[in-house]
Amino acid sequence: MRRIALVTSAEYAGLTPDDQLALAPLARRGIEATAAVWNDPKVAWETFDRIILRSTWDYYFSPEAFAAWIASVATLPLANPASTVLWNMEKTYLRDLEGKGIPIPPTAWVVRGGRASLRDIVESRGWARSVVKPTISGSAYETWVVPRDVTGDDETRFGRMLSASGVMVQRFMEAIDAEGEWSILFFDRRYSHAVVKRPKRGDFRVQTEFGGTVDAVVTPAWLLAQAQAVIAAVPGPLLYARVDGVVEDGVLILMELEVIEPAIFLHAETAAPERFSDAIDRSTLQRTS
């Protein structure tokens, strides 16, 4: 039997309920899946036929330690590849994809320790609302919305963030409120399924822990083609990827390309656990053949 590690964090040491949906399909394919916490020193990573990042949802609290761990397993059969994971850790990857023709929200980038005024950024661009977030974050961590009238408290918070990390300021995408955010899932670069995430009334965060909702949807062909263009812009193997975006005037605006530890919403479609397991099956067979 082939052995794989589904890499998680201490809070989800037994895997998330969604990831657990893959265990039985994997077992039917002769694959034993073991939950393994990424920073547990007792794990013998070299004993696995595949190391698959799943719910390492604490990595952005200690990004240097996580990057060091990724480097330590880089020569092992890691999914996704270490170089891709390290690139995707910092949201400046969006700037790289924009350079390849992928639309992203209008964004101002400020490096860690940079001398910048949030008020000047917002006023110079004329945005009615702006989203501020660290360039390394997840699950809306340290992410907040400011109006055009930036307050002194906003400026203080912005300066405090800059002392700790790079910061990005984006135009708030009104489609989040109106239509929600698409998450389009790919396994082994093949389209699997999609959901739309919507924030609760009065909030901007689409994550379920903040009251957001998730609904399974059918991706229209025109939108799928744009999501596939995002995937095509990333070189190398991709066991899994999630394209998050909003639609403006028929154009998919990329909010995130998640290739480290995305929730993959296996519960949203009956066939999704089978498709994910098939992708893992193919990758481990290639490794052991």
Q: pLDDT tens string for the chain (289 positions)?
A: 899 999 999 999 999 999 999 999 999 999 999 999 999 999 999 999 999 999 999 999 999 999 999 999 999 999 999 999 999 999 999 999 999 999 999 999 999 988 899 999 999 999 999 999 999 886 667 888 999 899 999 999 999 999 888 999 999 998 888 889 999 999 999 999 999 998 767 666 667 666 678 899 999 999 999 999 999 999 999 999 999 999 999 999 999 999 999 999 999 999 999 999 999 999 887 655 4
The pLDDT, as a whole number, for residue 289 is: 45
Q: Which residues lie below 8 Å from residue 156, measured CB to CB, with a gap of 6+?
A: none
Instruction: Kindly report the CATH number that applies to the domain delimited by 107-171.
Output: 3.30.1490
Phi (first) and psi of residue 74, to 5 degrees: -60, -30
CATH class of the region 175-269:
alpha beta
The pLDDT, as a whole number, for residue 203 is: 66
Domain boundaries, the chain: 2-90+274-288, 107-171, 175-269
Q: How many residues does the chain have?
A: 289
DSSP assignment of 188-238? TTEEEEEEEEEPPTT----SGGGT-EEEEEPPPHHHHHHHHHHHHTS-S--
Q: In this structure, what DSSP letter does residue 139 have?
A: T
CA distances from 220 to 92, 125, 226 (A): 29, 33, 10
Fold of domain 2-90+274-288 = Rossmann fold (3.40.50)
